[in-house]
Amino acid sequence: MNRPDPDFRSDTVTRPSAAMRAAMAEAEVGDDVYGEDATVQALEEQAADRLGQEAGLFVASGTQSNLCALLTHLARGDEVLSGESYHIVRYEGGGASVLGGALITPLPVDSCGGLAVGDIQAAIKPPDSHFARTRLLSLENTVHGVAQPLARLQALTGLARQAGLACHLDGARLMNAVLETGDEAAKFGQLFDSVSLCLSKGLGAPAGSVLTGSKPFIAAARRWRKMLGGGMRQSGILAAAGLYALEHHCQRLADDHKQASQLAAALNQTGGVRAEAATNMVFAMLDWQAAMGLPDWLAKQNIRISAPQKIQQGEAVLGRFRLVLHLDLDSRASSRLVEEIARYPGLQDI
């Protein structure tokens, strides 16, 4: 299978390897809505075990996983607290509000992606009919590539427990955080009532996430999955890719982290670029005028990156790019990217 042109937009663009495709083709399948797909069951059990939870639920996407979790935790008029830049707040269409009548309250996020104990305390509502009922704290790991330390999550979830809140973790890239911190996935998972783990980012499966929690919680979430149209039939074909990913692709995430560090270092040797790495991501800064034309320039060289984010730093206006390393990118792809950026005519010193 030919390696695709370098694509640094996201780790969601990965394609299943030949071995993963073989596992999918050979998967034992049944009707999962009837509870008869053995491969789906094996994936759900393995994911739950890795995360220190009782049960799992295979769903179509990370968005669906988070939504099933929030709808299970919250009733109409309930409130979830989360980071202002976290996915359930900014990137998932406000699903819990639209479909569940829940209030999503954003809290400030610091430069490392974390929430402050004081901000959470101040946001928890008293038992008063004027207020939404604060019921859930939803955290994320990693946050824009930054691994959240176990001790910090312990402090935040500990505060939530004292206030009577349930805790959910959007662990879309949790396995990246596990490698970065050296702590076991179960140590993170056991802090939370529910955890969402994505299989289709750095782990390289073509689709799917697993939501984990207690057996009663997952039974209720399964009902929500049905109402959201997420009941799949012979989904063991997709689950087999997820199983292969958990068994073969977790440790290889270290390669992405290493490549990200090397790419950031190489970009910092290029005049006009400042870069830093966080797990499998590189954030590169260019002059805004130069940044606007860079994606089109690279596209002509058959290299894909996302559009820049506009950033104000003092009087300077900069463009910030997120470059994501994944299993379809090797050191040659990173070298090509650096070479083409160095050749870019619009590059200016910043």
In 3D, which of 143, 138, 147, 201 has the Cα closest to residue 178?
A: 147
Task: Work out the end-to-end distance of the chain between its first and last CA atoms, rounded to an integer number of angstroms.
Answer: 41
pLDDT at 194: 98
CATH number of 11-247: 3.40.640.10
In 3D, which of 284, 286, 289, 294 has the Cα closest to residue 322?
A: 284
344 CB-contact burial (10 Å; exposed 0-12 / middle 13-18 / buried 19+): middle
pLDDT at 314: 87
Share of the chain above pLDDT 90, in %: 95
Task: Kindly report, residue by residue over 215-258, the tens digit of the pLDDT.
Answer: 999 999 999 999 999 999 999 999 999 999 999 999 999 999 99
Place of tokens 């990173």: 334
CB-hemisphere CA count at 13 Å for 290?
Answer: 21
pLDDT at 327: 97
Q: Assign a CATH topology to domain 253-343.
A: Aspartate Aminotransferase, domain 1 (3.90.1150)
- Domains of the chain: which residue ranges? 11-247, 253-343
pLDDT along the chain (350 residues), means of 10: 85 96 98 96 98 98 98 98 97 96 97 97 95 97 98 98 98 98 98 98 97 98 97 97 98 98 97 96 95 96 97 91 97 96 79
